[in-house]
Amino acid sequence: MLTIWGRTNSVNVQKVLWCCDELVLPFERIDAGLQFGRNNEPEYLAMNPTGKIPTLVDDDFVLWESNSILRYLAMQYGESSLLYPPEPKLRASIDRWLDWSLSTLQPAERPVFWTLVRTPAEQRDMAKLATDAAAVGQLWRLLDAHLQGRFFLEGEKFTLADIVIGTYTKRWFGVDGLERPSLPNLERWYSRIATRSGFKKYVDFPLT
């Protein structure tokens, strides 16, 4: 049985839970992070010295970094699935979205999410929010252009790239108080992936 440590309203935990659903993998989950604490206790830090969530425990194997966890699950348990195909060019194309999500998208979208979802209205810096939202809007435009004429992010099939970018997209379309540019390709793709059971079970909730 797999164990996943992390609270369910973390985007990085959600992508792991969604991936387990795609692979039909049973797991137990233990709340950790923010109000649940535990992630800075010695027992947790011994598994994951970053003190961040999620952490995956698979028997005697422990892994942290959400996108690394997704790759591991797909390679270990999804041999016959198409979530992370072995063909080098396709796999590298999927990897670039996983890398881009952590290096570029999340740092840009995080301040917008935290301001609108986790900061009381009277404490919000609205001028900074406008600048931050414009910057992340440019990244969503990039994705919108990429999705022109495509059904999924890479190749013909749903892959890890759709899971990872899909969880962040919820944080763009799911908040109130943003002026969003028109992004028809992104919206079409988003409504397509929103039909997946893993999205419905683990991502499609009011943001908290």
Ligand X SMILES: N[C@@H](CCC(=O)N[C@@H](CS)C(=O)NCC(=O)O)C(=O)O
User: With binding defined as CB under 6 A, does residue 33 bind ligand X?
Assistant: yes
User: With binding defined as CB under 6 A, does residue 167 bind ligand X?
Assistant: no
Map residue 30 onto helix, strand or coil.
strand
User: With binding defined as CB under 6 A, does residue 102 bind ligand X?
Assistant: yes
User: With binding defined as CB under 6 A, does residue 39 bind ligand X?
Assistant: yes
Query: Closer CB to ligand X, residue 53 or residue 163?
Result: 53
Contact 56, 16 (CB under 8 A): yes
User: With binding defined as CB under 6 A, does residue 53 bind ligand X?
Assistant: yes
Compute the distance between CA of residue 154 and CA of residue 172 in angstroms, rounded to an integer.
21
Min dist CB 66 to ligand X, Å, is: 4
Min dist CB 69 to ligand X, Å, is: 7
Min dist CB 101 to ligand X, Å, is: 9
- For the chain, helix (H) and strand (E) counts, in that order, are 9, 4
| Count of residues interacting with ligand X (CB under 6 A) | 12
Binding residue for ligand X, selected from 66, 115, 159, 167, defined by CB under 6 A: 66
Compute the distance between CA of residue 48 and CA of residue 23 in angstroms, rounded to an integer.
24
Handedness of CA 84, 200, 17, 179 (dihedral sign): positive
User: With binding defined as CB under 6 A, does residue 45 bind ligand X?
Assistant: no
Pairing between β-strand 61-64 and β-strand 2-5 as defined by DSSP bridges: unpaired
User: With binding defined as CB under 6 A, does residue 143 bind ligand X?
Assistant: no
Binding residue for ligand X, selected from 2, 4, 5, 11, defined by CB under 6 A: 11
Contact 147, 186 (CB under 8 A): yes
User: With binding defined as CB under 6 A, does residue 73 bind ligand X?
Assistant: no
